[in-house]
Amino acid sequence: MALFPLLQPFALLLLLLCQSTSAQSTTTTSAASTTTSTAATIYPGNSKYTYLGCYNETTTLNNTAMTRALQGTSESNDTMTVEVCLAFCAGSTYAGLEYTKECYCSPYISALSVKLDDAQCNLPCVANGSEICGGALKVSVYQLKSSTSTGKSAAPGSMGGSGRAAAGSALALGAVVGGLLWL
């Protein structure tokens, strides 16, 4: 009889354990059924890059000398995924995937490139059908997290000392806004 109150906490713990285990298995089941669906989804990013949006390629525009939306180092092969591209572009402000397997790294997005609906980037990656790798003349763009430049640069040469200063004040502004939000 005196043991009963002592056992109660254990019984409660056991009950809670059972509940959390059953909750966990339900989550696992629904997650598994989501994974088996064939639709490719947008890879949200990793610790270094975050998804910015779907942008037009600019090569088909007149008088731009075929300049790309993301002009810079590039790679295209049959093992391309978002993860591979982000690793390949490591350090670049922008990384983008186009047409299932093309990866572009650049310090800026062309001012001529228009941001589109996410749905316009509708092609799965050649090496991972579960994630989106741009579209035909559409680029899934990722931005370096430490970068504070959210706008577009008109020219590649504009990333100079003043750009850094501007980035610094943007960071300061972000801290102020963040501080206000915190309050």
Ligand X SMILES: *[C@@H]1O[C@H](CO)[C@@H](O)[C@H](O)[C@H]1NC(C)=O
Residue numbers of the site for ligand X (CB under 6 A)? 43, 56, 58, 60-62, 75, 77-79, 81, 83-84, 88, 114, 116, 128, 130-131, 137
- Are 73 and 123 in contact by the 8 Å Cβ rule? The answer is no
In the complex with ligand X, the residue whose CB is nearer, 33 or 162, is 33
CB of 22 to ligand X, least distance (A): 25
Residue whose CB is less far from ligand X, 84 or 97: 84
CB of 179 to ligand X, least distance (A): 34
**Residues 129, 112: Cα–Cα separation, whole Å:** 30
Residue 55 or 108: the one with the smaller Cβ distance to ligand X is: 55
**Which pair of structure tokens corresponds to residue 123?**
């092609």
Of the pair 98, 131, the CB lying nearest ligand X is at 131
Decide: 143 and 93 in contact? Cβ < 8 Å. yes
Closest CA to 141 of 66, 65, 43, 7: 43
Integer distance in angstroms from the first to the last C-alpha of the chain? 53
What distance in Å separates the CA atoms of residue 40 and residue 109, rounded to the nearest whole number?
25
Q: Is 70 left (phi over 0), alpha (psi -120 to 50) or beta?
A: beta
Task: For the CB of residue 106, give the shortest distance to ligand X in the complex, in Å.
Answer: 16
145 versus 164: smaller Cβ distance to ligand X: 145
Q: Measured from the CB of residue 147, what is the shortest distance to ligand X in angstroms?
A: 21
DSSP 8-class letter at 141: E
* Min separation Cβ 79 and ligand X, Å: 4
- Collapsing DSSP to helix, strand or coil, 106 comes out as strand
